[in-house]
Structure 1
Amino acid sequence: MLTDTHTHLDASQFNEDREEMIQRAWDVGVTRIVNVGFNRETIPTTMELAEKYDFIYAIVGWHPQDAKDMLPGDLEWIEELSKHEKVVAIGEIGLDYHWDTSPKDVQNRVFREQIRLAKKIGKPIVIHNREAHHDIIEVLREEKAAEVGGIMHCFSGSWDTAKMCLDMNFYISFGGPVTFKNAKQPKEVLAQVPLDRLLIETDAPYLTPHPNRGMRNESSYVKLVAEAAAEIRGMSLEELAQVTTNNAIRLLGLR
């Protein structure tokens, strides 16, 4: 019983075999998938997937790379969609200092607006953090994001950063990088995260785990992430799958 807590299965990379790819995930034991719509194009397609498949849920929000394109009406749109029974969180939101696609001040404003929305509607948030650890922590603290908590998606920071996130009511999620031979830090952090705050994901079609690295990622590969995490934690695959699924159910209200 595996749960993939972060995917983009509506991406164009799956246009030729989306139904077969989703079936492959189900066949290896992935019983819950959470798909993320992060801009004007992907939010509607994420909602379509959540409405078509009983075991696929939706997260909706505005990605920091697209922050400059967000209009006031888009925040209202996200708020309205959040009332849907399959929408379980607001995200992915945050800061991205790697890709220079939106000014930092605009990213910051859009990030804060969505945290406030999440607090207003009482849903957790899913954080995208690319080379912005200090500023992410600062915004989360200033906006009192601990009131709703959420997920640090595909966590890449240090254990010190992870502890600050844990203190603010966040779960720590790991994806394909924990299967990479040279990924020392993610493995060290995964080994220390309290079991009741641990999640796994694919971020498909990106960040494909070993031994399929370099190919398109897909939701069935969350089993590879689970196997690596189980080995790092000294647990069986079944135990790791059960723990992370229970965590996802508890945080996101999945059925």
Structure 2
Amino acid sequence: MSKGHEQGHDGPPPAPDPLPLPVVDNHTHLDISRDGAAAPVVAQALDAAAAVGVDRVVQIGCDLAGARFTVEQIERHPRMLGGVAIHPNEAPKHAERGDLHEAWAQIEQLAAHPRVRVIGETGLDYFRTCPEGVQAQQDSLRWHIDLAKRTGKALQIHDRDAHDDVMRILEEEGAPNHTVMHCFSGDMQLARRCVEAGYFLSFSGTVTFKNARGLRDALAITPLDHLLVETDAPFLTPSPFRGAVNASYLVPITVRAMATTLSVDVPTLCQALSDNSERVYGPW
């Protein structure tokens, strides 16, 4: 979950041309509303995405209410898998209230659902966290890594202004078999480190932004078998609609921009993204 400083945009963007092969939006928040708008109607959002070739999504619940919503929805919608966690920005709040361990216990119960395939998003966010909240974030990241390994589920990492500590803690704890760097925000050097460690890099609409040359450079050196795509909806809407409310039906814009950066044709990239998603999360 990332809230960028974007300019306003009137009305929902039009649907892009459908992709030639289906892909997965591997990180979306259908429980979150933005800019005073109502939260999306799940069935309508899934139908709009499927109409342009985004036929599967991973819904991420990153607080207790969102995690419960996620489990409810994945039982209703076969096109949806789920992820649950305490977001790094939520962990210090729980720690301050003295109920972080109780929150973890609830997440562990929800994570037992067979269609919850992700522990996350967890990680570190030093952009919003005061120094006194860092320890709670790091403790929470370590706990979620352990849960992912104990349950055999994929781990999705939120990393904002905390690259070195995220990589250090993953190395110290031992990353799960499938670790996804959600909304990858690093440079070429970090991309190489992640690929060498066996992690998947998930790119969002930020890769289309004019000021994101460094991010496109990182994408360009990432092998196809380490790539995923996401929206982080309702945030991070791809250009030229930056500032509008994001949704899974806009994934084709990001996929086509990624294909251009990678110098591959769109069907080849779509097939890789779909295959990688099933490698990480299993069949829908």
TM-score normalised by the chain length of structure 2: 0.85
1:177 to 186, 196, 206: 206
1:211 to 223, 228, 240: 240
Checking the alignment, whether the CA contact within 8 Å between 2:231 and 2:246 is kept in structure 1 is: yes
Is 1:127 paired with 2:157?
yes
**CA distance in 2: counterparts of 1:192 and 1:15, whole angstroms:** 36
In structure 1, list runs of 5 or more residues that go unmatched.
none
Is 1:55 paired with 2:84?
no
State how 1:72-91 maps to structure 2 within 5 Å: 72-91=101-120
**CA distance in 2: counterparts of 1:241 and 1:114, whole angstroms:** 30
In the other structure, the counterpart of 2:50 is 26
Checking the alignment, whether the CA contact within 8 Å between 2:60 and 2:84 is kept in structure 1 is: yes
The 1:37–1:106 alpha-carbon spacing in structure 2 relative to 1, beyond 3 Å, is same
Checking the alignment, whether the CA contact within 8 Å between 1:95 and 1:128 is kept in structure 2 is: yes
In the other structure, the counterpart of 1:249 is 278
Is 1:114 paired with 2:144?
yes
What is the Cα-based RMSD across aligned positions, in Å? Answer: 1.5
Percent of pairs with identical residues: 38
- The number of residues matched between the two structures is 254
1:70-126 deviations in Å (ceiling 9; x for gaps): 521322222222221211110000000001267001111111111111111221210
Checking the alignment, whether the CA contact within 8 Å between 2:123 and 2:158 is kept in structure 1 is: yes
In the other structure, the counterpart of 1:222 is 251
State how 1:189-208 maps to structure 2 within 5 Å: 189-208=218-237
**CA distance in 2: counterparts of 1:80 and 1:168, whole angstroms:** 29
Is 1:66 paired with 2:90?
yes
1:209 Cα offset (Å): 0.2
Dislocated runs of 4+, deviation >3 Å: 16-19
SS at match of 2:183: coil
In the other structure, the counterpart of 2:28 is 7
Aligned AA (1:144):
G
**CA distance in 2: counterparts of 1:160 and 1:59, whole angstroms:** 28
SS at match of 2:64: coil
2:128 to 83, 95, 99: 99
Is 1:163 paired with 2:184?
no
Aligned AA (1:243):
A
**CA distance in 2: counterparts of 1:16 and 1:181, whole angstroms:** 28
1:142 Cα offset (Å): 0.6
**CA distance in 1: counterparts of 2:201 and 2:283, whole angstroms:** 18
Aligned AA (1:245):
S
Checking the alignment, whether the CA contact within 8 Å between 1:118 and 1:148 is kept in structure 2 is: no
Checking the alignment, whether the CA contact within 8 Å between 1:50 and 1:86 is kept in structure 2 is: yes
**CA distance in 1: counterparts of 2:40 and 2:103, whole angstroms:** 30
The 1:121–1:219 alpha-carbon spacing in structure 2 relative to 1, beyond 3 Å, is same
Aligned AA (2:106):
W
**CA distance in 1: counterparts of 2:39 and 2:62, whole angstroms:** 18
1:201-251 deviations in Å (ceiling 9; x for gaps): 000000000111110000111111101011111222222111101001011
Aligned AA (1:12):
S
TM-score normalised by the chain length of structure 1: 0.95
SS at match of 2:121: strand
**CA distance in 2: counterparts of 1:12 and 1:171, whole angstroms:** 28
> Bigger CA drift: 236-245 or 58-67?
236-245
In the other structure, the counterpart of 2:179 is 150
Aligned AA (1:110):
S
